[in-house]
Amino acid sequence: MPITQILGLSRLAKPLTSEEGRRILERDQYRCQYCGLDGLANFENSLVMTVDFVQPRAKKGKKIAENLVTACRPCNTIKGYRKFSSLEDARAYVLARREELKKAWQTRASSARTRTAAT
Ligand SMILES: [Zn+2]
Distance 62 CA to ligand 1 centre (A): 21
Domains of the chain, with CATH numbers? 15-111 (1.10.30)
Distance 60 CA to ligand 1 centre (A): 23
For 42, the 3-state DSSP assignment is coil
Residue 118 banded pLDDT, cuts 50, 70, 90: confident
pLDDT digits (tens, 9 = 90+) for 71-113: 999 999 999 999 999 999 999 999 999 999 999 999 999 999 9
Which residue blocks in the chain are alpha helix, DSSP H?
Answer: 3-6, 9-12, 18-27, 43-47, 73-79, 87-118
Distance 71 CA to ligand 1 centre (A): 5
Distance 42 CA to ligand 1 centre (A): 15
pLDDT digits (tens, 9 = 90+) for 24-83: 999 999 999 999 999 999 999 999 999 999 999 888 899 999 999 999 999 999 999 999
Longest CA–CA span in the chain (Å) reads 54
What per-residue confidence (pLDDT) applies to 14? 60
pLDDT at 5 over 70: no
Q: Side chain identity at 22, as an amino acid letter?
A: R
Distance 111 CA to ligand 1 centre (A): 26
Distance 110 CA to ligand 1 centre (A): 24
Q: Side chain identity at 19, as an amino acid letter?
A: E
DSSP characters for 56-75?
-GGGT---SGGGEEEEEHHH
What per-residue confidence (pLDDT) applies to 105? 97
Compute the average pLDDT of residues 2-21: 63
> In angstroms, rounded to a whole number, what is the distance separating the alpha carbons of residues 39 and 111?
32
pLDDT at 9 over 70: no
Distance 112 CA to ligand 1 centre (A): 26
